[in-house]
Amino acid sequence: MGIFLVCLGSRLPQAACHSSGHGEGGDQSFYRSFQLETLMSKKLCANCGQPFTPRPQARTQTYCSDPRCQQARRQDWLEAKLQSDPHYRENKARVQKAWQERNPDYWRKYREGNPEITYKNRDAQRPPIPLPPLLSGLYRIRAIPSDVAKTDAWIVEITPVCADCPCKDDACKDST
Burial of 48 (0-12, 13-18, 19+ CB in 10 A): middle
Burial class (CB in 10 A: 0-12, 13-18, 19+), 111: middle
Give the pLDDT confidence score for residue 6 in this predicted structure.
42
pLDDT in tens, the chain (176 residues): 444 444 444 444 444 444 444 444 444 443 344 444 444 588 999 999 999 999 999 889 999 999 999 999 999 999 999 999 999 999 999 999 999 999 999 999 999 999 998 888 888 777 777 877 778 888 888 888 766 555 666 778 888 887 666 555 555 555 44
| Among 44, 43, 47, CA closest to 74 | 47
- Global model pTM greater than 0.85: no
